[in-house]
Amino acid sequence: MVPIMTTREAALQFSIEYFDGGGFQTDLAKMVAIPSESQSSEGRIHLQEYLDISIIPILLEMGFTCQVLQNIDPEGGPFLIAERIEGPDLPTILTYGHGDVVRGQANNWKPGLSPFELKEEASRFYGRGTADNKGQHLINLKALASVIKSQGRLGFNFKVLFETGEEIGSPGLKDFCKQYTEELKADVFIASDGPRISPKNPTIFTGSRGALNFNLLVKLRNGAHHSGNFGGLLGDPTIILAHALAVITDVRGQIQIPEWRPASLSPEIQEALAILPPVDAGFSLDADWGEETLTMAERVFGWNSFAVLAIKSGNPKAPVNAIPGYARATCQLRFVVGTNEKDILPALRRHLDEHGLQSVEIEQAERNSFQATRLDINNPWLEFVAKSLKKTCGQNIDLLPNIGGSLPNDCFAEILGLPTIWIPHSYAGCCQHSPNEHLLKPLARQALLCMTGLFIDIATSASILTAETIKARV
For residue 388, CA distances in Å to 204, 256, 418 come to 12, 43, 20
pTM: 0.88
Query: Closest by alpha carbon to 454, among 30, 223, 158?
Result: 158
Query: Closest by alpha carbon to 154, among 62, 81, 88, 66?
Result: 62
pLDDT of the residue at 368 = 60
46 phi/psi in degrees, rounded to 5: -100, 0
> Are the C-beta atoms of residues 408 and 370 closer than 8 Å to each other?
yes
Work out the widest C-alpha separation in the chain, in whole angstroms: 97
Pairing between β-strand 326-335 and β-strand 210-219 as defined by DSSP bridges: antiparallel
Pairing between β-strand 79-84 and β-strand 92-98 as defined by DSSP bridges: unpaired
User: pLDDT tens across 94-118, in order?
Assistant: 999 999 999 999 999 999 999 999 9
Q: In Å, how far from its chain's centre is CA 244?
A: 30
Is the confidence at residue 468, as pLDDT, over 90?
A: no
Is the confidence at residue 166, as pLDDT, over 50?
A: yes
Residue 463 DSSP code: G
Among 1-5, 147-151, 242-246, the least confident range? 1-5
User: pLDDT tens across 28-47, in order?
Assistant: 999 999 999 999 989 899 99
Is the confidence at residue 471, as pLDDT, over 60?
A: no
Among 4-8, 119-123, 190-194, the least confident range? 4-8
pLDDT confidence tier of residue 3, bands split at 50, 70 and 90: low
User: pLDDT tens across 324-347, in order?
Assistant: 999 999 999 999 999 999 999 999
User: pLDDT tens across 281-298, in order?
Assistant: 777 889 999 999 999 999
Q: Coil, strand or helix: which one is 33?
A: coil
CA-based torsion, 454, 66, 77, 43: positive or negative: positive
For residue 141, CA distances in Å to 98, 144, 169, 175, 456 come to 13, 5, 24, 26, 13
Is the confidence at residue 242, as pLDDT, over 90?
A: yes
What does the alpha-carbon distance between residue 343 and residue 195 come to, in Å, rounded to a whole number?
A: 30
DSSP string, 322-361: EE-SEEEEEEEEEE-TTS-GGGHHHHHHHHHHHTT-TT-E
What does the alpha-carbon distance between residue 274 and residue 220 come to, in Å, rounded to a whole number?
A: 48
Residue 452 CA neighbour count, 13 Å, CB half: 32
What does the alpha-carbon distance between residue 203 and residue 212 come to, in Å, rounded to a whole number?
A: 25
pLDDT of the residue at 365 = 84
For residue 26, CA distances in Å to 29, 173, 435 come to 5, 30, 22
Q: What angle do CA 177, 179, 185 make, to 5 degrees?
A: 55
CB neighbours (10 Å) of residue 304? 22
pLDDT confidence tier of residue 377, bands split at 50, 70 and 90: confident
Q: In Å, how far from its chain's centre is CA 263?
A: 24
Span 177-206, mean pLDDT?
96
Query: Closest by alpha carbon to 374, among 342, 421, 341, 329?
Result: 421
User: pLDDT tens across 43-102, in order?
Assistant: 899 999 999 999 999 999 999 999 999 999 999 999 999 999 999 999 999 999 999 999
Mean predicted lDDT score pLDDT of the chain: 94
> What's the one-letter identity of residue 70?
Q
What does the alpha-carbon distance between residue 325 and residue 303 come to, in Å, rounded to a whole number?
A: 36
User: pLDDT tens across 392-451, in order?
Assistant: 999 999 999 999 888 899 999 999 999 999 999 999 899 999 999 999 999 999 999 999
What does the alpha-carbon distance between residue 44 and residue 77 come to, in Å, rounded to a whole number?
A: 7
User: pLDDT tens across 119-137, in order?
Assistant: 999 999 999 999 999 999 9
Assess whether the region 7-208+373-473 and the region 210-265+275-364 belong to the same CATH fold: no
Give helix 134-151 / helix 7-20 axis angle, nearest 10°. 140
pLDDT of the residue at 300 = 93
pLDDT of the residue at 467 = 54
pLDDT of the residue at 279 = 74
Question: Domain 7-208+373-473, what fold?
Answer: Aminopeptidase (3.40.630)
Question: Would you kindly state where each structural domain of the chain is located, as residue ranges?
Answer: 7-208+373-473, 210-265+275-364
pLDDT confidence tier of residue 473, bands split at 50, 70 and 90: very low
CATH 3.30.70.360 fits 210-265+275-364, yes or no: yes
pLDDT of the residue at 469 = 55
Query: Closest by alpha carbon to 403, among 247, 251, 205?
Result: 205
> What's the one-letter identity of residue 390?
K
pLDDT of the residue at 378 = 87
DSSP string, 407-447: -STHIIIIIS---EEE---EETTS-TTSTT-EEEHHHHHHH
